[in-house]
Chain A
Amino acid sequence: MRPLVSVNKLFRVFDVSKPWLNRLLERRNKALLTAVADVSFGIPERTVYGLVGESGSGKSTIGKIIVGLLAPSSGSVEIEGVDLFREKDEGTVDRIRSDIQMIFQDPYASLNPRWKVGDIIVEPISSRGGDTVGVANKLLEQVGLSARDATKYPHEFSGGQRQRICIARALASEPKLIVCDEPTSALDVSVQAQVLNLMSDLKDDFGLTYLFISHDLTVVRHMSDTVGVLYLGRLVEEAPRDALFDGPKHPYTQMLLQAAPKLDGSVREADIPKGEIPDPINPPAGCVFNPRCPFAVDRCRKELPELRKLGDHRVACHLAE
């Protein structure tokens, strides 16, 4: 079966150089940041794919490319077999667009403060000239707010309630895929639980597919069916949730799981990873993780490991077995 989303050899390079005059005076070359490098994965319908990584891992960039907010530098993203950036037929583009929605991290910035909540929610429909009668009220009730809230403005709501409004807007065009970019990292724990539970319920009710992007391992573990681990723009490991968390194969995944806080406070100082994420403008040669990897051998410093199949896992490591 064809997956709903398939990402093929995706690259995205940002030009982060200074203006040309500064470059000329300081005799510097263009600085290019490869935010996403050679990433391929698929998301089957009605599943949750969790993308986890630390800052600079490229997880948000991948999310933005999938929803069409950013263009890929090379490679492609196909949704239901359609590549939004190459498709010429406007009708098809519009149909696919209405199948994709996104929930953002900051519930304060993601709602227009000058619009009424009801208008915000139905914008995906009204902008296409669709019929919006009663839609906002129904959606508000589905996300646990009341129909009366439609006439209020965003500032009258708390962070958790705003995120519910964002979810209602995301549902308005009856999408198949929702890309969730750190949807709960700005929320308090008890509110996060409400929002995560709501998202789980809606997934079952509406038959949704999620791409769930987060830096928080525990949240990704709670939500996802399959998890992909990103490091410096590369997919280093991918596996079904339990396989990944119970038996991580890539040294980076192992390190991340080890460093994550445990409730029994069992992290020992000896286990704590050394070093930090290297500068993404000048990534290390060979395997990008080799400078921090406790097992690195000569080959790792020279040769970039391919993502290879290993049981349920896909791992980009020469040594994993």
Chain B
Amino acid sequence: MVEPVLSVRGLTVEIPTRHSVLRPVDTVSFDIAAGEILGVVGESGAGKSMTGNAVIGLLDRPAHIAGGEIWLNGERIDQLKGDALRQVRGKHIGMVFQDPLTSLNPLLTIGQQLVETIQVHLDVSGAEAKNRAVNSLNEVGIPAAAERIDAYPHQFSGGMRQRVVIALALCAEPSLIIADEPTTALDVSVQAQIIALLKRLCHERGTAVMLITHDMGVIAEAADRVAVMYAGRMAELGPAREVLTKPAHPYTVGLMGSTPLASAGKERLNQIEGSMPRLDELQPGCAFSPRCPYAQHKCRIEPRPTLEAHEGRAACWLAGEVAE
């Protein structure tokens, strides 16, 4: 088996508070292979962004990694600090955030920002760096890249800005890109462009992508595999097509049923009653059990099954039965 680019094992993030210790990410394990897009989907508060931030080492205090391991290209990165962490962050992991406007420095031209990033991480001359910057802008589909390289971020439209952010994330040739809701702030037509761009670049260059989103449509369009998160835990992990069409975890079943996309033509949407519990209100047993229509006594008392990166699809005691 080919070594995955990113390999996360039992990742746990904790936030100590006055009253208790919260676990926004709880024993999460997954792999991303080269050229693969892993969609991480979940509702707000599911811990998907926190997982992404933990991988890149951007947790804000007092949140911290309390357990588990993160391996990037066979190197353990969860204990890195200072310079070593910064080196990994920019060079080996690229980041694309939701709002393209705030992820670019408004006072520098996009050329300056690209050249700076390239020179920090790659040992190349100024002319070569500029050359690479133009190339990367061409690659993300910015017309007349050579002329527009001296433009400032505000001179670009929202979609074009997100392309610049992607170029910036890719220019140091990282092996992993973490894209956190990259299309949420964009219009439908532009969203399709950006998804297609991400897909193409990742497959062409063999970059692994962790695509964090709440939008099932984006997952369906972009992801090869999908990880469904609920209350900080991995609920289901598997090939995108299978998870979306034949969900195995009751939560995924409910989520798909409540998507208007999947229920075109139906009078009513299937709804999951209630809402995701707050982290300080988690019950023992499976976190989804209070909302689960299939929940049995076992689900409410026994700690939920942990989902390992390779085995099984759903973290559910009843996974086999629910699918029927």
In the complex, are there CB atoms of A and B closer than 8 Å?
yes
Question: Could you tell me which A residues sit within 8 Å of B by CB distance?
Answer: 54-55, 158-161, 188-194, 196-197, 200, 215-219, 221-222, 255-256, 259-265, 267, 269, 272-273, 276-277
Chain A CB within 8 A of B270 CB:
yes
B221-A262 in contact (CB<8A): yes
Chain A CB within 8 A of B103 CB:
no
- B residues in contact with A192, CB < 8 Å: 258, 260
A194-B216 in contact (CB<8A): no
Bitwise interface map of B from 184 to 218 toward A, beta carbon under 8 Å scored 1, else 0: 00011111110110011000000000000011111
The 3 closest A-B pairs by CB, nearest first: A261-B217, A193-B258, A188-B43
B269-A267 in contact (CB<8A): no
| CA gap between A197 and B260 in the complex, in Å | 11
Select one of A188, A262, A265 contacting B214, CB under 8 A: A188
| CA gap between A261 and B222 in the complex, in Å | 9
B188-A263 in contact (CB<8A): no
The number of chain B residues touching the other chain, given as a range, is 35 or more
| CA gap between A188 and B229 in the complex, in Å | 13
B259-A189 in contact (CB<8A): yes
A222-B187 in contact (CB<8A): no
By secondary structure, the B interface counts as helix
Bitwise interface map of B from 290 to 318 toward A, beta carbon under 8 Å scored 1, else 0: 00000000000000000000000000000
When A and B form their complex, what is the total count of cross-chain residue pairs whose Cβ atoms lie within 8 Å? 125
Chain A CB within 8 A of B131 CB:
no
Bitwise interface map of B from 247 to 268 toward A, beta carbon under 8 Å scored 1, else 0: 0000000110111111110111
Select one of B199, B200, B217, B260 contacting A196, CB under 8 A: B260
- In the complex, what residue of chain B is closest to A157 when comparing beta carbons? B275
Output the least CB separation between B316 and chain A (Å): 17
- In the complex, what residue of chain B is closest to A144 when comparing beta carbons? B273
A191-B196 in contact (CB<8A): no
A197-B192 in contact (CB<8A): no
Select one of B188, B193, B272 contacting A260, CB under 8 A: B188
- A residues in contact with B264, CB < 8 Å: 218, 221-222
Select one of B193, B217, B241, B272 contacting A193, CB under 8 A: B272
Question: Could you tell me which B residues sit within 8 Å of A by CB distance?
Answer: 43-44, 157-160, 187-193, 195-196, 199-200, 214-218, 220-222, 240-241, 244-245, 254-255, 257-264, 266-273, 275-276
- B residues in contact with A277, CB < 8 Å: 187
| CA gap between A55 and B185 in the complex, in Å | 10
Given contacts A160-B275, A189-B216, A193-B269, contact A261 B241 (CB under 8 A): no
A54-B187 in contact (CB<8A): yes
- A residues in contact with B191, CB < 8 Å: 259, 261
| CA gap between A159 and B269 in the complex, in Å | 19
Given contacts A188-B43, A217-B188, A261-B215, contact A222 B271 (CB under 8 A): no
Given contacts A222-B263, A267-B221, contact A190 B190 (CB under 8 A): no
- In the complex, what residue of chain B is closest to A217 when comparing beta carbons? B188
| CA gap between A264 and B246 in the complex, in Å | 12
Given contacts A188-B44, A277-B187, contact A219 B258 (CB under 8 A): no
B241-A218 in contact (CB<8A): no
Output the least CB separation between B26 and chain A (Å): 19
| CA gap between A249 and B318 in the complex, in Å | 47
B268-A197 in contact (CB<8A): yes
| CA gap between A21 and B107 in the complex, in Å | 25
Output the least CB separation between A294 and chain B (Å): 13
- A residues in contact with B263, CB < 8 Å: 222
A190-B217 in contact (CB<8A): no
| CA gap between A200 and B266 in the complex, in Å | 12
